[in-house]
Amino acid sequence: MSWTKPPKEEIDEFEKLGNPGWNWQNYERYVAKTEGFIAPSEEVRKRNDYVNMSIEQIGRDGPLKLAYPGRIDELDSTMLQTLLNAGLSKAANPTKGVSFIPNTYDPIKHVRSYATTAFYLPNKDRPNLKVLINAAVQRINTQPAPNGKLDAAGVEFEYDGKVHTVNAQKDVCLAAGALKSPHILELSGVGRKDVLGKIGVPLKLELPGLGENIQDHMHVGVSWELKQDVGFETIDLLRDATHNAKHLDLHALGEGLYTRGIIGFAFTSLHQLSPLADTIYERTKAKILANKDKFPPGLLEQYNIQLDRIKRGAPGCEIICYPGFLSGPAPPAEGKSYITFFAAMNHCFSRGTIHSTSSDPHKEPEFDPHYFEQEVDLDIFTESIKWIRKLADVSPLKDIIVNELNPGPQVKDDAQIGDWIKKCMGSTYHAASSCAMLPKEHNGVVDPELRVYGTNNIRVVDLSVVPLLFAAHPMASVYSIAEQGADIIKGKFNPLEASVASLKLSA
């Protein structure tokens, strides 16, 4: 539910990687079409000094409701003040610094706002819209076109125990996400020759980059036990059935813990967290230069941008404030309350893969994120954790905690921290780039019009087209991609013209 947008430079890098029209100017224009921000009252803003993240930049007229949760607790402010006292700065804009972040939240009904409430329900009675739930796509049926490319003739799907085919007169658009869009394309005969050969699917169109270049965000939590007399209500109360029932009843009144959200964030650079930043940068740069001839096409260009991100202080490190327990390996104790700071990794160098292991559409593909294949990712993660653990000595956090539960005092040196990270980290479920929008010679899968290379009418419109993952939770960007993709499909957007306009504006 966190509504965060990437730094301007990191969206402009889409265009630098060979995608005219995919730049910050167009991103802002399209994401604003979705945003329906409901600004907090002046009273709330005065009471919560961290609601300062240039909220004037958020669109007000879109169908997706955005707001601060009904309850901003003193504990949320305590966590942010600790980050500021530790040396970070308030966010002058939403992409770098410490601030409260809006949620996709309806402040009147106190429920989540999402694609169903914003887009489907207002349009569900339109005669040209048909939605089937639990209808699993199996493959796209294609045929050779006179121009030598592939045409999508229809889509085969399973519904209510039967296989059906819907015929396509215009475009077929995949929006199944980074985990499933490449799977559907492979089952349709599109992708790597070696992958399709192993599963017995006839190759109709070779695209070596399909299912490659996977990037993800990772996180791991550091938890402290709270003193019993500090008076803060945390999410830990909900583990108790009696308290949970009480807060469910309160939610119906627009009160209680179920009106809270995850709103405290810091986006920051490695240099702000670690004295080893320059050492890590130089070591990573040397390794990349030494191995540049071994990389698949297009990866060196991405790595050069990622090196520049470290050097310029891009906010690749994220800290998330969580008012409760969420960490490992030690479990929470009954009746205790906790506080957790997450370290999240946004600019990972490791690249994963997603590939089919069977021609049976019911069998999921193999997801291999290749976490920590590039040692720089573990280096940065370790430095982030070391910085977060030092917060225990910073007020006001140090005044309200008893002890560190996870990773725990037995985890001391860098090697032990690294082992703990590997054991307890998790995906933030932001997987991207499996159908990357890149030049075909750079292992691209779709062009700047989101059309699959070698096809006339198959497009991909989801997070899988992102060529290089950015420092933000991706929901806002998914909506922006969808809006820009809709205009492209309708013929209302010319990438080359939009790129020229952006260059003129910058000049």
Cα–Cα distance between 505 and 25 in angstroms, integer? 9
CA 56 to chain centre: 23
Q: Is residue 59 located within the same domain as residue 78?
A: no
User: What CATH number does residue 16 fall under?
Assistant: 3.50.50.60
| Six-digit token string for 258 | 């179920």
Phi first, then psi: give them for residue 151, nearest 5 degrees: -105, 135
Domain tally for the chain?
2
pLDDT given for residue 395 in this prediction = 98
Q: Is residue 169 located within the same domain as residue 254?
A: no
Cα–Cα distance between 400 and 409 in angstroms, integer? 18
Cα–Cα distance between 257 and 246 in angstroms, integer? 10
pLDDT given for residue 505 in this prediction = 46
Give the helix/strand (H/E) hosting 78. helix 74-85
pLDDT given for residue 225 in this prediction = 98
**Average pLDDT per consecutive 10 residues, the chain (507 residues; last block may be shorter):** 95 98 96 92 63 69 92 90 96 84 91 96 95 95 97 97 95 97 98 98 98 98 96 95 96 91 95 98 98 97 98 97 97 97 98 98 96 98 98 98 97 98 97 98 98 98 98 97 96 73 50
Q: Is residue 86 located within the same domain as residue 196?
A: no
Q: Is residue 254 located within the same domain as residue 146?
A: no
Give the helix/strand (H/E) hosting 264. strand 264-268
Say which DSSP state 417 is in. Answer: H
Cα–Cα distance between 29 and 23 in angstroms, integer? 10
User: What CATH number does residue 326 fall under?
Assistant: 3.30.560.10
Residue 379: partners with Cβ closer than 8 Å, 6 or more residues away: 276, 280, 283, 284
pLDDT given for residue 49 in this prediction = 61
CA dihedral 471, 75, 386, 4 (to 10 degrees): 0
Q: Is residue 39 located within the same domain as residue 180?
A: yes
Cα–Cα distance between 167 and 506 in angstroms, integer? 44
How many C-beta neighbours within 10 Å does residue 266 have?
27
pLDDT given for residue 189 in this prediction = 98
Cα–Cα distance between 82 and 239 in angstroms, integer? 27
Q: Is residue 76 located within the same domain as residue 153?
A: no
Q: What is the DSSP string of 145-175?
A: -TTSSEEEEEEEEEETTEEEEEE-SS-EEE-
Phi first, then psi: give them for residue 465, nearest 5 degrees: -85, -15
Q: Is residue 79 located within the same domain as residue 35?
A: no
What are the residue ranges of helices labelled H in 343-494? 375-389, 414-424, 475-489
Tell which of 424, 444, 464 closes a domain: 424
Identify the CA nearest to 421 among candidates 410, 406, 402, 404.
406
pLDDT given for residue 496 in this prediction = 64
Question: Which residue range is the domain that position 336 belongs to?
Answer: 70-101+218-345+372-424
What would you report as the CA-atom Rg of the chain, rounded to the nearest whole angstrom? Answer: 24
| Six-digit token string for 413 | 């040196």
Give the helix/strand (H/E) hosting 325. none
According to DSSP, the residues that pair with 156 across neighbouring strands are: 139, 165
Cα–Cα distance between 68 and 105 in angstroms, integer? 7
Q: How far apart, in Å, are the Cα atoms of 486 and each of 209, 313, 376, 459, 493? A: 24, 34, 38, 11, 9
Say which DSSP state 96 is in. Answer: B
Q: Is residue 311 located within the same domain as residue 441?
A: no
Q: Is residue 388 located within the same domain as residue 466?
A: no
Residue 110, helix vs strand vs coil: coil
pLDDT given for residue 58 in this prediction = 87
Q: Is residue 481 located within the same domain as residue 436?
A: yes
Bridge-based pairing state of the strands 353-355 and 366-368: antiparallel
Cβ proximity of 339 and 79 under 8 Å: yes
Q: Is residue 391 located within the same domain as residue 319?
A: yes
Cα–Cα distance between 280 and 96 in angstroms, integer? 21
Q: Is residue 317 located within the same domain as residue 330?
A: yes
Tell which of 383, 399, 424 closes a domain: 424
